[in-house]
Amino acid sequence: NFGLNAPTARLAAQIHQESMWKADAASPYAQGLAQFTPPTARWLPTICPSVGAPDPWDPQWSIRAVACYDAWLYANAPPANECNRWAFTLSDYNGGQGFRRREQQLARAAGDDSSTWFDHVESFNARSIGAWRENRSYVRRILLLLEPAYIAAGWGGTGACP
């Protein structure tokens, strides 16, 4: 599990969102089941050598890599309750920690709660409008729609968000 304490349903929901479980999925920027960009795929073994040589087209590598990367992002996410911490983690996976940090700064500057994702940090935008919309939809769809659906289908676990 690469140090990731998350139910199978959460990872399944994330992979579903990334590629619809298509190992040959490709976008202009990312590849494979977990939709890693080539630079991220090359970098991942530096933080988690046990994932092996980068190969985003290999479903087994992709599953190991998404678990490793999520564990690393979760460890570096702002401390919060489980729901908000996973929202920060998934936002980082989708759009990068730098944008999330800038959006937290915008929330703080506006006197809003920068430690709470839903209805707070998610309302602030430091990216292009298209990237912002995609990022917000990504987090909400995984945590509020897909993860509960996978749990209901018997994939196991408890949802991060009530």
Cα 50-26-102 angle, rounded to 5 deg: 75
Contacts of 20 (CB under 8 A, 6+ apart): none
What is the per-residue pLDDT for 3?
78
What is the per-residue pLDDT for 1?
54
Residue ranges of alpha helices (H) inside the chain are: 8-19, 38-47, 59-75, 82-95, 97-109, 129-140, 147-152
Write phi, then psi, for 62 (nearest 5 degrees): -60, -40
Say if residues 48 and 68 touch (Cβ distance below 8 Å). Answer: yes
pTM listed for this prediction:
0.96
* Per-residue model confidence as pLDDT tens digits over 68-124: 999 999 999 999 899 999 999 999 999 999 999 999 999 999 999 999 999 999 999
* Per-residue model confidence as pLDDT tens digits over 25-77: 999 999 999 999 999 999 999 999 999 999 999 999 999 999 999 999 999 99
Q: If DSSP codes are grouped into helix, strand and coil, which group holds residue 22?
A: coil
For the chain, the straight-line distance linking the first and the last C-alpha, in angstroms and rounded, comes to 24
